[in-house]
């Protein structure tokens, strides 16, 4: 599921405030005023934004650091770099993750030199015009360098302390120490006792101030194996990759976050370091910390450590842009798997005025057994085992796709599934949803808010998300109000506007004999 699907419309509603029945309206302006009394935001001189929210009832803090960098920022020949860097930035610094950096450094330098030579030779072997003699000579050099690289890596490994940051955090009482990468965002998160803020600021700022990309080549094999497990051995993941290629082509969303198998194997250390230096800059970072904290002391600590990051110009975004569709696109994936299909329709980014209505529409179609497509395809017609609907796949910052995934019982039913989906969409185009359907969705939002964002982590996640993607954490306060204003006429409008054959992309699995 894309990131926004988890938090986009979640608001923090303390139980003390939410005391009435879920279907009753509450004063969002009063709620915002009361809540913002406990929130402070500052932008450091280097451009890094910091949001603090005080929750004195909790003796802990949730620390979320988001960077506006994901797979969309990569060129196609460097696909997978952002996800790879998520791994590499856990490998430490000159002071962390090593027994003796001064002694380790010469081996790291030799590893990089020979690794670059090996990568150059491997790319040379891709040349179909090499003579037999040239190919043999290149392969001999490659074999010799590969053996030598293994020797350097073995020597360097003697100095490595694996996961030293994780060990330090564990001793400090951490929970939820983790990271993830999406199309648009890289996120690092942790929960700690409130007296460990300075420890967090020192360790996390060092991750971006002076990372050492040690164990680069072994880790490259790790992500390749991760790719094999998550994609190459799972036909539905390959179907999703085919959908991205077909719908987006060579635009930034046309590749999976993990990268393509052929390109991720050739990610180079120098190019990866350059990508980091160019993209992981303070103006693209947002820190949100929620818990038992003192505003002035916390801002001082964060500026002490994160203020060391130097301001840099915002780099150019990958120049290839999404080309508007002018006709339906169809593709097939042959695989030993049960039938499955993905249908998508082009839609604008999350900042567009229709976004809220499209999110509500996705829930009308695919959230719960009473939703229109689940009820129709799974329960009534019994031609699909599962249906999932996403309002913005795979990302939100750029033109994206409204998607419907269906696990189909029989490939012969593909046309029946498409007809049923079109019929349900046509009903929404003509009549819109009932008042009861809309109210049920609005009530569910409130229930999710109360359940999810009563904790520090949910608040920090949401604050940092809104500030990074929508450029204003305050928009979290108006989300429910905007949802409340959506009526049947608005749903009819977006259904008529976006769900057209000329903007549709559909991909299918063509089952092979098992």
Q: Is residue 139 pLDDT above 80, yes or no?
A: yes
Q: Is residue 16 pLDDT above 80, yes or no?
A: no
What pLDDT score was predicted for residue 150?
97
Question: Alpha-carbon torsion 119, 123, 125, 130, what sign?
Answer: negative
Give the integer Cα–Cα distance in Å for 188 and 181.
9
Query: How large is the average pLDDT for residues 362-380?
Result: 95
pTM: 0.91
Query: How large is the average pLDDT for residues 320-348?
Result: 92
- Residue 24's pLDDT band, with cuts at 50, 70 and 90, is low
What pLDDT score was predicted for residue 322?
74
Q: Is residue 6 pLDDT above 80, yes or no?
A: no
- Residue 13's pLDDT band, with cuts at 50, 70 and 90, is very low
What pLDDT score was predicted for residue 505?
98
What pLDDT score was predicted for residue 50?
98
pLDDT in tens, 94-130: 999 999 999 999 999 999 999 999 999 999 999 999 9
Residue in 205, 212, 208, 194 with CA at minimum distance from that of residue 305: 205
pLDDT in tens, 215-237: 999 999 999 999 999 999 999 99
Q: Is residue 11 pLDDT above 50, yes or no?
A: no
What pLDDT score was predicted for residue 12?
27
Give the integer Cα–Cα distance in Å for 309 and 48.
9
Q: What is the DSSP letter of 347?
A: E
- Return the half-sphere exposure (C-beta side, CA atoms, 13 A cut-off) of residue 61: 25
Backbone angles phi, psi at 428, to 5 degrees: -70, -35
What pLDDT score was predicted for residue 376?
97
- Residue 14's pLDDT band, with cuts at 50, 70 and 90, is very low
Give the integer Cα–Cα distance in Å for 479 and 483.
6
Q: Is residue 293 pLDDT above 90, yes or no?
A: yes
Residue indicated by tokens 């949730």: 62
Percent of the chain beyond pLDDT 90?
A: 81
**Is 266 in contact with 76 (CB distance < 8 Å)?**
no
Q: Is residue 295 pLDDT above 80, yes or no?
A: yes
Catalogue all structural domains in the chain, each as residue range(s) with its CATH number. 65-306 (3.30.830.10), 329-511 (3.30.830.10)
Q: What is the DSSP letter of 319?
A: S
**Is 406 in contact with 417 (CB distance < 8 Å)?**
yes
What pLDDT score was predicted for residue 107?
98
Q: Is residue 19 pLDDT above 60, yes or no?
A: no
The larger pLDDT score, comparing residue 269 to residue 477, is at 269
Q: Is residue 325 pLDDT above 90, yes or no?
A: no
The larger pLDDT score, comparing residue 1 to residue 389, is at 389
Q: Is residue 443 pLDDT above 90, yes or no?
A: no
pLDDT in tens, 340-363: 999 999 999 999 999 999 999 999
Cα distances (Å, whole numbers) of residue 308 to 32, 64, 71, 130, 255: 33, 19, 26, 49, 34
Q: Is residue 306 pLDDT above 50, yes or no?
A: yes
| Numbers of helices and strands, H then E, in the chain | 19, 11
Q: Which of 12-26, 43-57, 442-456 has the lowest mean pLDDT?
A: 12-26
């Amino acid at each position: 599921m894309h990131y926004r699907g988890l938090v986009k419309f979640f608001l923090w509603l303390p139980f003390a405030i939410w005391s009435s029945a879920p279907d009753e309206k509450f004063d969002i302006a009063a709620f915002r005023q009361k809540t913002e009394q406990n929130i402070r935001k500052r932008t450091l001189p280097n451009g890094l934004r910091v949001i603090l929210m005080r929750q004195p009832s909790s003796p802990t803090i949730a620390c979320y650091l988001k960077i506006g960098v994901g797979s969309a920022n990569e060129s196609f020949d460097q696909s997978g770099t952002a996800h790879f860097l998520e791994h590499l930035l856990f490998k430490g610094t000159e002071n962390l993750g090593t027994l003796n950096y001064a002694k380790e450094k010469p081996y790291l330098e030799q590893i990089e030199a020979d690794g670059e030579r090996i990568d150059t030779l491997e790319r040379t072997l891709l040349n179909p015009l090499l003579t037999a003699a040239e190919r043999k000579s290149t392969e001999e050099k490659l074999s010799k360098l590969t053996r030598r690289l293994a020797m350097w890596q073995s020597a360097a490994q003697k100095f490595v302390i694996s996961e030293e940051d994780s060990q330090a955090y564990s001793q400090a009482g951490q929970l939820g120490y983790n990271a993830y990468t999406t199309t648009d965002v890289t996120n690092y998160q942790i929960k700690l006792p409130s007296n460990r803020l300075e420890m967090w600021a020192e360790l996390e700022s060092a991750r971006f101030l002076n990372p050492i990309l040690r164990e680069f080549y072994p880790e490259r094999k790790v992500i390749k194996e991760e790719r094999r497990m998550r994609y190459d051995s799972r036909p539905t993941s390959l179907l999703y990759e085919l959908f991205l290629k077909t719908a987006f082509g060579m635009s930034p969303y046309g590749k999976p976050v993990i990268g393509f198998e052929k390109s991720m194997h050739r990610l180079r250390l120098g190019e990866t370091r350059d990508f980091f230096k160019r993209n992981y800059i303070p103006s693209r970072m947002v820190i949100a910390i929620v818990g038992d904290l003192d505003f002035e002391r916390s801002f001082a600590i964060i500026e002490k450590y994160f203020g060391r990051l130097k301001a840099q110009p915002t780099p150019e975004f990958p120049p290839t842009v999404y080309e508007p569709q002018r006709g339906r696109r169809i593709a097939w994936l042959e695989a030993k798997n049960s039938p499955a299909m993905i249908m998508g329709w082009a839609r604008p980014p999350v900042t567009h005025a229709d976004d809220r209505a499209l999110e509500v529409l996705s829930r009308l179609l695919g959230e719960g057994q009473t939703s229109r497509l689940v009820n129709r395809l799974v329960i009534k017609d019994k031609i699909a085992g599962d249906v999932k609907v996403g309002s913005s796949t795979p990302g939100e910052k750029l033109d994206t796709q409204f998607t419907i995934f269906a696990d189909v019982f029989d490939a012969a039913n593909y046309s029946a599934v498409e007809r049923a989906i079109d019929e349900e969409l046509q009903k929404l185009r003509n009549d819109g949803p009932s008042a009861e359907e809309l109210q049920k969705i609005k009530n569910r939002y409130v229930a999710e808010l109360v359940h999810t964002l009563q904790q520090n982590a949910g608040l920090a996640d949401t604050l940092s998300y809104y500030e990074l993607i929508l450029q204003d954490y305050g928009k979290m306060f108006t989300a429910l109000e905007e949802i409340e204003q959506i009526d049947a006429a608005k749903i009819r409008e977006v259904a008529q506007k976006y769900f057209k054959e000329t903007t549709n992309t559909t991909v299918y699995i063509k089952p092979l004999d098992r």
